[in-house]
A and B are shown apart, each in its own frame.
Chain A
Amino acid sequence: MSLTVEEGEIHGLLGENGAGKTTLMNVLFGMLRPDRGEIRIGGKPVRISSPGDAVHAGIGMVHQHFMLVDVFTVAENVVLGFEPTKGKVFYDRRKAAANIRRLSQEYGLEVDPEAVVEDIPVGLRQRVEILKALERDAHVLILDEPTAVLTPQETEALFRIMRSLAATGRSILFISHKLKEVREIADRVTVMRLGKVVGTTTPAESSEQELASMMVGRSVSLTVTKGPAVPGDVVLQLSDLTVADERDLIAVDGVDLEVRAGEIVALAGVQGNGQTELVEAITGLRHTLRGSIVVAGKDLTHATPRQRLHAGVAHVPEDRQKDALVLPMQLADNLVLDMYGDAPYAGRASRDLRAVKKNAERRVEEFDIRAGSVDDPVSSLSGGNQQKVVLARELGRPVKLVVAAQPTRGLDVGSIEYVHKQIVAERDQGTAVLIVSSELDEVLALGDRIAVMYRGRVMGVVDPSVGRERIGLMMAGITGDAAPAGDGVPFSAGMGGAGS
């Protein structure tokens, strides 16, 4: 493949998971060696065989998962490996901080050099990564899925920084699978599929729909097609639910919420406003301080996770690799992770491996899981297929309530479409569905009703037809019709601090 990035250009690189974006980056940053071809910077061919070479050549990289030492300060992280010294021995803290202040001001990257990294929100950590690259004098900056962990407001701030960097003549390679963002920020867009460049275009020339078809190789529907909901009885009833987080601070503050059979309630909100804790309380992973959780008439407020599971609660966790899957274990075992001890998968003491395998083969077929064999470890599957495994397990048994947190995070367009379809199908069978998502598009597309959370409280439950403007304001804690017409200004203040 060939790819040219001009000086001072923001170049978007689009592609589904597994299209070869990451491989390309690893080649550029010296983690993998190319089989053929060459890399040129400023017209000169360079040989990059280690990350050190890449830094020398002026390539800076901001990884999707940050490479920071959590217990060090911002300044220490930025200068790590290039520390300014006093008398060649002692670390010069003041000089390091001064360097960072200068860089911060130059590019609008405000961050306190003395803050400890583990105390600052994700958006600021990302700035630290960018500062790291700038401190090493990077001319080409590669950002790998930088917005995956950011709130809409933090994303806006990042885009401003990217523009000011490009204005100084630095080139930026922005890797993403979010079409909207790539169209918004990039000067040119290159689309990859199956390791090849499909084409290079500009946001003006191609619509979102066209880019999506280029990525997937066929036309995809970006909106969810679903009929009107037919709500039945109340399945999930939360009354005055109050939950604390790890630091014993109230994270969910007296929430009342109902989810009925046959409807999807989407819980919107910027990350860190209590959604995670709410989900954990419903699924039994977190202790409830006050209030009650009733599922299908049964009080589950203090039930164990297993009791809830058997009461018909399905849980699609936010972080599937951490909370839903055992990556080194076989696909077949992962498909029975919750029901491994129940018939037909086990007798009194021993497991029935044949039943486990048969179940796996059926689910693989049913949910179109692409895997070599049901004996393969789940770690060998792509992100989209891993999520299908979770869905197959949770929806494969009769359930009354599905709680799905960020069900499409990190997935490519094709998989998102599939996951959405499955969730709607589950609703149409009469299941109550509670979706938690920080992506407004997803909330609007899936929800029959939308509940907005802000600082642990539900600001209101609205119909999706009220529009993104109004919901966006509610996400910032502003309710009522007197709110100013939103241009994004009201919620740029303090939003970054909300998610920690």
Chain B
Amino acid sequence: MSSDMGTVDLDQSEVPAEPEHPGRPIGAERRSRAVDLLQRLSEANVLVVTVCAMVAALVVGALLILCTTPAVLQAWGHIGSNPGHAFGESWTTVAAAYSSLVEGSIFNPHAQDLTQAFNPISETLVAATPLMLAGLGVGLGFSTGVFNIGGQGQLIAGAVAALWVGTEIKAPLGTHIPLVILAGAFGGAVAGFIPGILKATTGAHEVITTIMLNYIFLDLLDWLLTISPFQQPGQSNAISKTMPSTARMPHLFGSTLRVNVSLIVGLAMALVIWWLMRRSRLGFSFKVIGLNPDAGKTAGMDARLISVLVLTISGALIGMAGMATLSGTDFLLSSGYGGNTGFNAITVALLGRNSPGGIVLGSLLFAALISGGRNMQAVTGIPIDLTTVIQAVIVFMVATPALVREVFRLREARGSQARIATKGWTV
């Protein structure tokens, strides 16, 4: 469950003669390499399902664009007199929309200088960073059978802790940023530990407690922003102090591009989680408890301790997401900080199938749709909500592999049953 990316070797050791099919021609057993490759492609493995889901989402998006653009509708109204015009208008509209999506998220060829041209990809990476960190936290929970819906609250807790260390602590040169990073992780860890210990000692389900804690942290933030030492001096608005320059993440490629060191933090965490789940002792017990808690307990694992640890680590990662935006781009906190990042992280984790590599790619895709969508709205006037629809369709299709197989006529991957990204709630 933890790392399903690149599962292409689905059908080795599957060739032995099947006695139930005596009528099958013998030659059929010997398939050529090319046939084999085609077969693998037509089987619904994780990568193929994801790509197909994206294609389907773009098609749905194109149809929506066509239905909502007045010029296109007008052209189709006169289809009898000028059919070429209807098709032409449709094509140009969709092409303009999607090329502005790409130009807004990856590379802008019309920019005046090179830095400007690379600004879209920089913005995509900036938007991807918190999604990556929070997605890793949520995904870690999912692969251990823990449903951490408290991303919003943990993100705020991490950001507040990072803000306090950033604004109140005087640290020697070069150590301030590491301290801020640790503070973000610590704040989130505390916020994750609370539902963890509640689950272990009282059996309270983490879905309920984490959702409730979201409200608590949202209101706690509103209150903190009005008191010392958090509120910006001389302000009556609920706005925090500003992070000093020593606590701000250095930019990676010059001062105009906002992409900064927090991206490196995100990628490093992905590596850490990969190691944790694939190579470490602790991660092995996480996986076992996630897949079969009864067998884990029989084998001497402490399931309650593990759920506390998982929620704490998950919270720490999400707390770092709050730290990343605070210290990387925003530099101050305001009411409702983090917005929907905590919830989008759930989507990213689903999209990445809980594997660190998948979550990194998922967060990039999500961020590209966000930054590209803004550009699309600015250039073509198509509302940014359309990209939300595209996101939704992708996730919808990824979460229902059976549907993708049906739409694209894929065969079920042999040797592996359709994997659903999350199991039911385990109370």
Residues of A within 8 A of B292 (CB): 322, 325-327
| Given A323-B295, A326-B288, A351-B284: A36 and B23 interface contact (C-beta under 8 Å) | yes
Contact B299 A346 (CB under 8 A): no
Minimum CB distance partner of A342 in chain B: B281
Contact A350 B297 (CB under 8 A): no
Residues of B within 8 A of A346 (CB): 281
Interface presence of A365 (CB below 8 A) = no
Residues of A within 8 A of B237 (CB): none
Residues of B within 8 A of A304 (CB): 300, 302
Contact A306 B295 (CB under 8 A): no
Interface presence of B176 (CB below 8 A) = no
Residues of B within 8 A of A376 (CB): 13
Residues of A within 8 A of B258 (CB): none
| Contact indicator per residue, chain A 128-140, by CB within 8 Å of chain B (1) or not (0) | 0000000000000
Residues of A within 8 A of B295 (CB): 322-326, 337
Contact B281 A349 (CB under 8 A): yes
Contact B297 A305 (CB under 8 A): yes
Interface presence of A317 (CB below 8 A) = yes
Interface presence of A115 (CB below 8 A) = no
Tell me the count of chain A residues lying within 8 A, CB to CB, of chain B. Answer: 37
Interface presence of B280 (CB below 8 A) = yes
Interface presence of B199 (CB below 8 A) = no
- For the complex, give the distance between the alpha carbons of A352 and B106 in Å: 41
Tell me the count of chain B residues lying within 8 A, CB to CB, of chain A. Answer: 27
Residues of A within 8 A of B1 (CB): 328
- For the complex, give the distance between the alpha carbons of A322 and B415 in Å: 21
| Given A328-B1, A349-B280: A35 and B21 interface contact (C-beta under 8 Å) | yes
Interface presence of B279 (CB below 8 A) = yes
Interface presence of B51 (CB below 8 A) = no
Q: Which residues of A in the span 315-352 have a Cβ within 8 Å of any Cβ on B?
A: 315, 317, 322-329, 333, 337-338, 340-341, 346, 349-351
Residues of B within 8 A of A333 (CB): 284
Contact A328 B291 (CB under 8 A): yes
> Main secondary structure on chain A at its contact with chain B?
loop
Interface presence of A81 (CB below 8 A) = no
Contact A350 B281 (CB under 8 A): yes
Contact B291 A326 (CB under 8 A): yes
Most chain A beta-carbon neighbours within 10 Å: one of B287, B294, B298: B298
| Given A283-B298, A285-B298, A326-B288: A351 and B281 interface contact (C-beta under 8 Å) | yes
Residues of A within 8 A of B172 (CB): none
Interface presence of B80 (CB below 8 A) = no
- For the complex, give the distance between the alpha carbons of A343 and B306 in Å: 21
Interface presence of B252 (CB below 8 A) = no
Chain A min CB distance to B6 (Å): 15
| Contact indicator per residue, chain B 277-293, by CB within 8 Å of chain A (1) or not (0) | 00111101101100110
Among the listed A195, A283, A309, A317, which residue makes an inter-chain contact with B20, where contact means beta carbons less than 8 Å apart? Answer: A195
Among the listed B19, B282, B285, B300, which residue makes an inter-chain contact with A305, where contact means beta carbons less than 8 Å apart? Answer: B300
Residues of A within 8 A of B223 (CB): none
Chain B min CB distance to A314 (Å): 11
Contact A35 B280 (CB under 8 A): no
Residues of B within 8 A of A338 (CB): 299-300
- For the complex, give the distance between the alpha carbons of A351 and B276 in Å: 10
Interface presence of B408 (CB below 8 A) = no
Contact A349 B300 (CB under 8 A): no
- For the complex, give the distance between the alpha carbons of A19 and B298 in Å: 32
Contact A322 B279 (CB under 8 A): no
Contact A285 B281 (CB under 8 A): no
- For the complex, give the distance between the alpha carbons of A322 and B291 in Å: 11
Residues of A within 8 A of B294 (CB): 322-323
Minimum CB distance partner of A379 in chain B: B417
- For the complex, give the distance between the alpha carbons of A305 and B1 in Å: 26
Interface presence of B275 (CB below 8 A) = yes
Residues of A within 8 A of B284 (CB): 333, 340-341, 351
Interface presence of A373 (CB below 8 A) = yes
Interface presence of A372 (CB below 8 A) = yes
| Given A304-B302, A337-B295: A373 and B19 interface contact (C-beta under 8 Å) | no
| Given A337-B288, A350-B275: A35 and B299 interface contact (C-beta under 8 Å) | no
- For the complex, give the distance between the alpha carbons of A265 and B162 in Å: 62
Chain B min CB distance to A380 (Å): 8
Interface presence of A425 (CB below 8 A) = no
Residues of A within 8 A of B298 (CB): 283, 285, 305, 315, 317, 323-324
Q: Which residues of B in the span 287-337 have a Cβ within 8 Å of any Cβ on A?
A: 287-288, 291-292, 294-302
Residues of B within 8 A of A285 (CB): 297-298
Interface presence of A355 (CB below 8 A) = no
Residues of A within 8 A of B287 (CB): 326, 329
Contact A340 B285 (CB under 8 A): yes
Chain A min CB distance to B77 (Å): 47
Minimum CB distance partner of A341 in chain B: B281
Interface presence of A23 (CB below 8 A) = yes
Interface presence of A167 (CB below 8 A) = no
Residues of A within 8 A of B13 (CB): 372-373, 376
Chain A min CB distance to B45 (Å): 16
Residues of B within 8 A of A498 (CB): none
Contact B19 A350 (CB under 8 A): no
Among the listed B288, B291, B300, which residue makes an inter-chain contact with A306, where contact means beta carbons less than 8 Å apart? Answer: B300
| Contact indicator per residue, chain B 1-33, by CB within 8 Å of chain A (1) or not (0) | 100000000000100000111010000000000
Contact B300 A329 (CB under 8 A): no
Chain B min CB distance to A9 (Å): 27
Residues of B within 8 A of A325 (CB): 292, 295
23 contacts between A and B (CB under 8 A): A20-B20, A23-B20, A194-B19, A195-B19, A283-B298, A285-B297, A304-B302, A306-B301, A308-B300, A309-B299, A326-B287, A326-B295, A326-B296, A329-B291, A333-B284, A337-B296, A338-B300, A341-B284, A341-B285, A351-B279, A351-B284, A353-B279, A372-B13
Known: A35-B23, A285-B298, A305-B298. 4 other contacts (CB 8 A): A195-B20, A309-B300, A340-B284, A349-B280
Closest CB pairs A-B (n = 9): A306-B300, A338-B299, A337-B299, A305-B300, A372-B13, A326-B292, A341-B281, A323-B298, A346-B281
